[in-house]
Amino acid sequence: MNVNISDELTLAVLRHAETIRSQKSLAEQLGYSVGKVNFVLKALIAKGWVKMENFSSSTHKRQYRYLLTREGIEARIALTEQFIERKKREYDELVAELEIAKGRRI
């Protein structure tokens, strides 16, 4: 099974971008290191898929808000479609393997 973790992590970050309280909380939620989440967010910002803004009214000046751009929304849709197609193929393969295994038991 060839899984591109980078695409899955990118999709996960895009899915949660607008609800991120902190990179630490997102990293904990996704099961990755803060450094890895930070790296992905910086890459998404560089691609123009995510925009980062300060909360001007916040007393914590290190808090940021992450917004998906139009390109980010399009990328999230495309990555979601690819993910669903990959999972459908994996499901079909598992069903076929199960049928073969059932046939061997008889």
pTM: 0.73
**Distances from the Cα of 43 to the Cαs of 25, 61, 81, 99, in angstroms?**
19, 22, 21, 43
Name the phi and psi angles at 4, rounded to 5: -90, 100
CATH of the domain at 48: 1.10.10.10
Residue found by looking up tokens 């046939």 in the block = 103
pLDDT in tens, 25-70: 999 999 999 999 999 999 999 999 999 987 655 566 567 889 999 9
* Residue 42: its H or E element: helix 34-47
Q: Give the count of domains, the chain.
A: 1
| 8 A C-beta contact, residue 90 and residue 1 | yes
The residue range of the domain holding 84 is: 5-105
Please report which confidence band the pLDDT of residue 103 belongs to, taking 50, 70 and 90 as the band edges: confident
With H, G, I as helix, E, B as strand and everything else as coil, classify residue 18.
Answer: helix
